[in-house]
Amino acid sequence: MTAASPAPVLEVSGLTRAFGGLVAVNAIDLAVQTGQIVGLLGPNGSGKTTALNLMSGVLRPDSGSIRFAGQAIEGLPAHRIARLGLARTFQLVRVLNGMSCAENVKAGLAFHRPPLSRGEIDESVDRLLRRVGLANRGGLPASGLTYIDCKRLELARALALKPRLLLLDEWLAGLNPSELLIGIELIRSLKDEGLSILLVEHVMDAIRSLCDRCVVMNSGRRIAEGRPDEVLADPAVIEAYLGVSTDA
Amino acid sequence: MTNAIFTGLMLGGMYALIAMGLTLQYGVARIMNLSYGEFLVAASFASYWLFTGWALNPLLGLAIVVPIGFGVSIILYRVLLTPLVRRAPTRDALEVDSLLATFGMMFIVQGIMLTMFGGAYFSYSFLSIPVTVFGETLALNRLIAFGLAVVFGLALYLALTRTRFGTAIRAVAVDPTAARLVAIDVTSVSAFAFALGGAMVAAAGVLVSMFLTFSASSGVIFTMKALMVVVMGGVGNLLGCLVAGLALGLSESLVATFVDPGLTLAVNFALFLGVLLVKPAGLFGRAQR
Amino acid sequence: MSPTQIAALAAGGAGLVVLALLPFYIDAYYLSLSISLLQFTVLATAWGLFSGPTRYVSLATTAFFGVGAYTVAVLGELLAWPLVLLIATAIGALMALIVGISTLRLSGLHFVIFTFGLAELVRQLVIWYEVNKTRVLGRYVFVDITQSDIYWQLLALAVAVFVIGWLIARSRLGFALRIIGEDETVAKHCGINVTLAKVTLFTISAVFITLVGAIMAPRWTYIEPSIAFNPTISFQVVIMALLGGAHRLWGPAVGSIPLTLLFEFLSTRFPATSTLIIGIVFLLIVYALPSGVVGLWERVSRRKPEPPVAPQVQA
Ligand SMILES: Nc1ncnc2c1ncn2[C@@H]1O[C@H](COP(=O)(O)OP(=O)(O)OP(=O)(O)O)[C@@H](O)[C@H]1O
Ligand SMILES: [Mg+2]
């Protein structure tokens, strides 16, 4: 019994999913404590996105359990998981291009249980757009946004769900150095507000400065777990990155 | 019982035959061809016309109708479908566009046949000599059609698995983007696969006309059966075609014999839905989700 | 309400009154033509109600239309007319729920295939039932409904389909459907029960189509399954909605009027080649007007830099 540690908001154990013969996620164990940022690392194709897809309900696990806020969610449909307060962004940014920025955020607000009032929704749209740095852009069509602004908008939509846990899939990838600093600060401020975050990331600076703990995957398996500096110094991790892919 | 199974196998073989061309067209070229059955019936009419007008044996007729099927399909692909391929931003969008375009084509082909032949049913008598196989009596033409269907299916299977070009076709079916990376000309391969599908459907049309009655408007039912077989078997998979075709044929003849001939379609649909609910990508399809 | 809105409402009301009085002033031929126009307007609008936002191509129109018509053939003489319509509604809704729940989780393409065969399936089941249980195939429709009655009922139904469509578009369901149409994965991650939304809309759309079939049934004096389940209706409705543009509530109606007139003209003048011409018209629409007249109009009138025209309907 480790009564001292705070209750984990997310607890994954033995999570497994195969595509045909390829076991993309293989018996993964992982926990995110309330208020922590946990990094999920690994070379390209190691199964990180697949793991997130299993947690957010895009895919069904073959076996293993996922407990979110004390409730078993493995195999639940994605909309049920979202309503429980698990939000995510996507590695390939998904904004609703045919809608305005405000409507994109509203998409995350309109389907709360119990439903919000019209006034609350309008007020939250403004607040969230401001929060991610898109103040006064609500009326613009989302299709005209730059790459970083698309990422911001997607984050605002995720935050609109009032999540307890946020899954970020390489949200910082593709940003230039100054945008990266802004992005890191934004994520840190979310943590300061008490949000728990599972962060899939290749950007080492971000991992070092943001994560409380890290889990490293390779070929679907967990190969290391611990504090960022420990994990990044682990010979197995270094070999996984250097042996499989040199651009990480 | 054996009779029902035997009939079911023959029927299933026919379904597999008529679905093979579609699985190429849809699996490789991503053209969901709703006018497929119309082309099949057109080939049946061609065979009928050659047989009654020119006294040409349908088996020889194959040598004429099949190349024409290939040629017409390649022209169709180049003229009508390539613009859609160009304009479609994604593969999904192409599926929708091609669905609508071939839907229009279905009316055109059917309209041409209606204008030429009217709405009556046609058939001709070729080798309708009873023979006995495994204690069952059936017409020789059916048996020959079945045998040829097996030959065509095997030839296609070997061509796809044993030749370089066949490998290219399969590569496009699995992953067109990756295929492009290894210097496969995806557009040409798609056109060729579509035309090969057109040749297969022409062959199926000729073979089917030897023992079935058909009319200008019977295409829809062929399209429907072929679509079910293709989707149930797993798109682009010949083995899947065979298994799904046989399953459909068997279930149909068993139900017709032991329950009620009026419920065959209901069984088809139940099987279709059942398979898809358990395996959304079809029996031999690659899992997507 | 702004003055323009009041003016629009007044104009709409006046137009409706004129339409309602029409049967008193026109002869039987034009009344019958008006009935066809209304029929296809409701059918195409109801089709667009579901297929527009979800981008699922439904070829099931005939199945529901036929069920409505056949319900009248069976019950028309036995029960009061409103009760018959109510039962038709219930049957249509039940069938839509069954079909929707079993197919709308599948991909759009599988849905197309299923609906492609649905009319044939239902027709076969009806025949099977009639032959084995009731032992009648083909029924006479003796109900006390005039052509004018049919016209007025269809007019009321047209008003209803537009009002309900307008209400849906303004509701949370309408917003959910727009998101689903844009990106289903995002919709799910916003907490939208995608299957429920689709099934709900499919059912609403199907109920209208069933009711059109029921209301139209007295037009024939004799109904048998092959008359009630006439597959061309499905096809015609798709063409009309696409011509108009299914992404707007009033788009399909824009397409239904010219095409109904065209089909009427073709079937009287060139009965032999009408199928061929329908096919050519269809192809012209798919190639030249991928987002329908409404889409074209919007692009011309607004000249707003819209994203490249999305395919009309997505499987
Ligand atoms: N839907 C799918 N069907 C088949 N294979 C899949 C599917 N999704 C992922 N895979 C495979 O699973 C493996 C893990 O992929 P995943 O996207 O999870 O990796 P990743 O760690 O997110 O990589 P990256 O850093 O490049 O984003 C890959 O080999 C991939 O090809
Ligand atoms: Mg990834």
How many whole angstroms separate alpha carbon C289 and alpha carbon C258? 15
Residue whose pair of structure tokens reads 């390829």 in the numeric block: A22
- pLDDT the model gives residue B286: 64
pLDDT at B215 over 60: yes
Residue C303 located in a structural domain? no
What pTM, to 2 d.p., does this model score? 0.84
Ligand 2 centroid, distance to A19 Cα (angstroms): 15
Residue C115 located in a structural domain? yes
Using pLDDT thresholds of 50, 70 and 90, give the confidence band for residue B62: confident
- pLDDT the model gives residue B235: 79
pLDDT at B92 over 90: no
How many whole angstroms separate alpha carbon B166 and alpha carbon B169? 5
Tell whether A151 is within 8 A of chain C (Cβ): no
| For C120, nearest residue in chain B (alpha carbons) | B265
Using pLDDT thresholds of 50, 70 and 90, give the confidence band for residue B221: confident
Residue whose pair of structure tokens reads 């209301």 in the numeric block: C215
Q: Could you report the predicted ipTM of this complex, rounded to two decimals?
A: 0.88
Residue C104 located in a structural domain? yes
pLDDT at A1 over 50: no
**To the nearest whole angstrom, how far is the Cα of A246 from the nearest Cα of chain B?**
21
B127: left (phi over 0), alpha (psi -120 to 50) or beta: left
Q: Determine, for residues A111 and C191 on separate chains, whether the beta-carbon distance falls below 8 Å.
A: yes
How many CB atoms within 10 Å of residue B42? 25
The answer to whether the CB of B244 falls within 8 A of the CB of B276 is no
Q: Determine, for residues C188 and A77 on separate chains, whether the beta-carbon distance falls below 8 Å.
A: yes
**B224 contact residues in C (CB cutoff 8 A):** 113, 116-117, 120
Task: Please give the tally of structural domains in chain C.
Answer: 1
pLDDT tens digits for range B180-214: 777 778 888 888 889 999 999 999 999 888 888 88
Using pLDDT thresholds of 50, 70 and 90, give the confidence band for residue A245: very low
Residue C49 located in a structural domain? yes
- pLDDT the model gives residue C314: 41
pLDDT tens digits for range A24-56: 999 999 999 999 999 999 888 899 999 999 999
- pLDDT the model gives residue A205: 85
* Tokens matching residue B131: 């023979």
- pLDDT the model gives residue C173: 92
- pLDDT the model gives residue B141: 79
Average pLDDT of chain B is 84
Which parts of chain C register pLDDT below 50?
Answer: 304-315
**To the nearest whole angstrom, how far is the Cα of C235 from the nearest Cα of chain B?**
9
| Site from A76, A91, A96, A100 to mutate, C interface, most C CB atoms within 10 angstroms | A96
Q: Hey, whose CA ends up nearest to atom 9 of ligand 1?
A: A50
- pLDDT the model gives residue A3: 45
Angle between helices B238-258 and B140-162 in degrees, nearest 10: 150
Q: Average pLDDT for residues B44-72, to the nearest whole number?
A: 88
Q: Average pLDDT for residues B161-165, to the nearest whole number?
A: 84
pLDDT at A2 over 60: no
How many whole angstroms separate alpha carbon B127 and alpha carbon B131? 10
> Would you give the DSSP letter of residue B287?
P
Of the two residues A53 and B128, the one the predictor is more confident about is A53
The answer to whether the CB of C261 falls within 8 A of the CB of C32 is no
Ligand 1 centroid, distance to A245 Cα (angstroms): 15
**To the nearest whole angstrom, how far is the Cα of A11 from the nearest Cα of chain C?**
20
| Ligand 1 atom closest to the CA of A220, numbered from 1 | 14
Ligand 2 centroid, distance to B190 Cα (angstroms): 30
pLDDT at B67 over 80: yes
The answer to whether the CB of A94 falls within 8 A of the CB of C185 is yes
How many whole angstroms separate alpha carbon C213 and alpha carbon C37? 14
pLDDT at B234 over 90: no
Mention the CATH class of domain A1-85+163-173+186-248.
Answer: alpha beta
Residue C280 located in a structural domain? no
> What percent of chain A clears pLDDT 90, i.e. is strictly above it?
54
**B286 contact residues in A (CB cutoff 8 A):** 20
Tell whether B103 is within 8 A of chain C (Cβ): yes
Tell whether C283 is within 8 A of chain A (Cβ): no
Ligand 1 centroid, distance to B41 Cα (angstroms): 44
Using pLDDT thresholds of 50, 70 and 90, give the confidence band for residue A213: very high
Q: Identify which of B109, B110, B231 has the shortest CB distance to residue C113.
A: B231
- pLDDT the model gives residue B1: 66
How many whole angstroms separate alpha carbon C286 and alpha carbon C263? 18
Q: Identify which of C110, C314, C315 has the shortest CB distance to residue B231.
A: C110
Q: Determine, for residues C186 and A106 on separate chains, whether the beta-carbon distance falls below 8 Å.
A: no
Phi, psi at A68, each rounded to 5°? -120, 120
Domain range summary for chain A, segments of one domain joined by +: 1-85+163-173+186-248, 92-162
* Tokens matching residue C161: 């389909």
Give the residue numbers spanning the domain of C86. 13-229
Helix (H, G, I), strand (E, B) or coil at A59: coil
- pLDDT the model gives residue A86: 93
The answer to whether the CB of A27 falls within 8 A of the CB of A17 is no
